[in-house]
Chain A
Amino acid sequence: MDIKREPLGPAVDPKNLRVRSLNAHQLLRGGELEGANQPAHLDGEELERYVQERVLTTTLDSAVAWARSNSFFPLAFGLACCAMEQFQTAGPRMDIARFGFEAFRASPRQADLIILAGRVSIKMAPVIRRLYDQMLEPKWAISMGACCSSMGVFNNYALVPADKFMPIDVHVPGCPPRPEALMHGVLKLRDLVQNDPDAGWRERYDAVGTEERP
């Protein structure tokens, strides 16, 4: 019989979470590591700083971001035809409650997501701006449909694209967008909030100073 010996596979990947947690465990408790990568043994002040920098802060941020992103409270705000598709998104087939967003609040003070569903006319724009200003930080905005993202089908005197007066995070195209499309937009926002919560949106949209003053 010919016995052939082969190595099992690539060496232990130091990026593997299990390996890293083992490393961290051994770093904190002391002891020797097996395997190729042996980080410098930290001690005392360096160890404390290492832990502070890496472990605690990041976890809190991402935990908070995770909580925020999975529980948007949309503002019950429908303007025109897109509102009908927004209803359908909250309806039984494309259920927005699966993701935790079914609590449509009527009051802007209690909402953190405004879904602009429909066409924004020049009379309505200051009203929407006021609503947006009344929402508390952190807040996000989704512009649903072609009419508020650009001017949509109507290129005339009466409409304003929403970007002109408020910062928008996600634009969902469509006229009206299918419930699946709106869901995709909301989930994209969820990813945005989870992974990069402080995208510096105030600086990005030059919205510094738009917080409502007491």
Chain B
Amino acid sequence: MSPETPSLSPYRQREQSITLSTLEEPGTTPAGDRTEELLTLNFGPHHPATHGVLRLLVTLQGEIVRDLKPIIGYVHTGIEKTAEEKSYWKVIPVVERMDYLSYYFNAMAYVGAVEALVEVEIPKRAQYLRVIHLELNRIASHLIWLGTGALDLGAVSIFLYCLREREKILDLFEMSSGARMHTRYFQVGGVIEDIPTGFASKLREFIKVMPERADEYGAILNSNEIVLQRLRNTGIVPVETLLGLGVTGPLLRAAGNPWDLRKADPYSSYDDFEFKIPVGEVGDNYDRFACRLAEIYESVKILEQALDGLPEGPHMTEDRKIALPPRHELATSMEALIHHFKLVTEGFRVPPGEIYYPIESPRGELGCFVRSDGSSKPARVHMRDPSFVNLQALAPMAKGSYIADMIAATAMLDPILGGIDR
């Protein structure tokens, strides 16, 4: 306003002399060459968008991510070490708490490994019941993924809708085993209890309702311009890179590789069911989203077939050296009493050997390595967690794109820190 008069304070004079050409930035040469500085930012363990306690060290150039380093270990629980101290049966609740959204899958991988070591035959009814619970858990896991993923993208109401559906699934789990999460329903040799009356009808209601709800969620998100803009053509990684990084599950399928252990190497009677594998084309975040959404429909199909074809029979193996005898036998049979006593106090012994048992969890290949040295406690339990390996794919997904794309990539990656850190 006023011309430069000597009555102006030095501050004012300096202020008026500043123009864009004389802007000095930190880290630049005083001659005025505008170079940019890379900023390393910490997306700390506590962050609303990191799906648990994932810490990302992000090196930014402006808003573009140049480098990404995940730092994990903030929920490391020492599950594998704890599992070495417990008898085989008692390891199941410990191992279940690893990947805390897909608890039945953790139990299935471990129980499958032990059953392969012990060479016990699982009755058909138990296998079908396992499939029912596994697919219900897959839907529940995808619902939380959808809810939190949409929450990260800004679509807040989907979160509440998904929680509503998940309540129905948790009701079903409560009916069959008594607990909503971490149910210890899968045991070595079968399942711990047969499903009660009323489970089948409630499951049928759910089967009828779930595809309609999934349609709703798809419709809401697919017509949301912001979600589409954020997901389409972001986070593209070529299939070879993903295979090199060991990525499996919906991430790999979204990139075009139809690898699914339920079809490739069926376990627990999955080959009795007809279902399709959703596969993406481009491999961007939108394909990952669409794949997982489509998997919900496929899981509902499997549920329906499993429920229709549920065979009669025992829900647990008859081998008394492994499975607890039914309680009414304890009053009449001495052998049953001895078996019960031995199983509860010491646990069953597993012949020495090592085995790796992989299954298809909602996030990819979940494998369980069990080494047994002949005693009643495992000598090593290692869970090959899919999120741990998939996390390595976050760096190629996010490099070169904006922070917002990195957030979308983390959401579509579906990391579960409990599994990553074990």
Contact = CB atoms under 8 A, between A and B. Distances in A.
Given A79-B52, A80-B97, A84-B100, A121 B163 contact: no
A127 B45 contact: yes
B97 A81 contact: yes
Given A77-B46, A84-B101, A121 B73 contact: yes
Contacts of A83: 52
B359 interface: no
A157 B80 CA distance: 12
B78 A123 contact: no
A154 B78 contact: yes
A155 B79 CA distance: 10
Contacts of B170: 88
Contacts of A156: 77-78, 81-82
B73 A84 contact: no
Interface string B291-314: 000000000000000000000000
A111 to B, nearest CB: 11
B73 A123 contact: yes
Contact of B75 (A108, A119, A178): A119
Interface in B360-401: none
Interface in A97-130: 106, 108, 118-119, 121, 123-124, 127
Interface string B145-169: 0010000000000011001101100
Contacts of A108: 46
Interface in B98-119: 100-101, 103
A176 B96 CA distance: 12
A193 to B, nearest CB: 24
Interface in B131-186: 144, 147, 159-160, 163-164, 166-167, 170, 180-182
B167 A93 contact: yes
Contact of A80 (B82, B166, B417): B417
B77 A92 contact: no
B415 interface: no
B82 A155 contact: yes
Interface string B36-54: 0000000011111000110
A124 B44 CA distance: 11
B76 A176 contact: no
A144 interface: no
B404 interface: no
B182 A176 contact: yes
B218 interface: no
A80 B79 CA distance: 13
A131 interface: yes
Nearest to B167: A93
Contact of A76 (B48, B93, B160): B48
Contacts of B79: 154
Given A154-B77, A158-B76, A127 B167 contact: no
B45 A124 contact: yes
A84 B181 contact: yes
A24 to B, nearest CB: 48
B181 A85 contact: yes
A157 B144 contact: no
Contacts of A66: none
B421 interface: yes
A159 interface: yes
Nearest to A94: B167
Given A153-B97, A156-B78, A121 B421 contact: yes
B180 A178 contact: yes
A159 B77 contact: yes
Contact of B181 (A76, A155, A157, A176): A176
Nearest to A156: B78
Contact of A153 (B48, B94, B147, B167): B94
Contacts of A88: 163, 166-167, 170
B190 interface: no
Contacts of B53: 79, 124, 127
A124 B101 contact: no
Interface string B70-93: 000111111101100000000001
Nearest to A83: B52
Given A91-B164, A153-B94, A78 B52 contact: yes
19 contacts: A79-B52, A79-B75, A80-B77, A80-B97, A81-B97, A83-B52, A84-B144, A87-B147, A91-B166, A121-B421, A123-B76, A124-B45, A124-B53, A131-B46, A154-B78, A156-B81, A156-B82, A158-B78, A158-B81
What are the nearest 8 A-B pairs in CB distance?
A: A91-B163, A81-B100, A158-B78, A156-B78, A106-B48, A124-B74, A92-B164, A121-B76
Given A91-B160, A175-B182, 10 more contacts: A79-B53, A80-B100, A91-B163, A92-B163, A93-B163, A121-B77, A127-B53, A153-B94, A158-B76, A176-B180
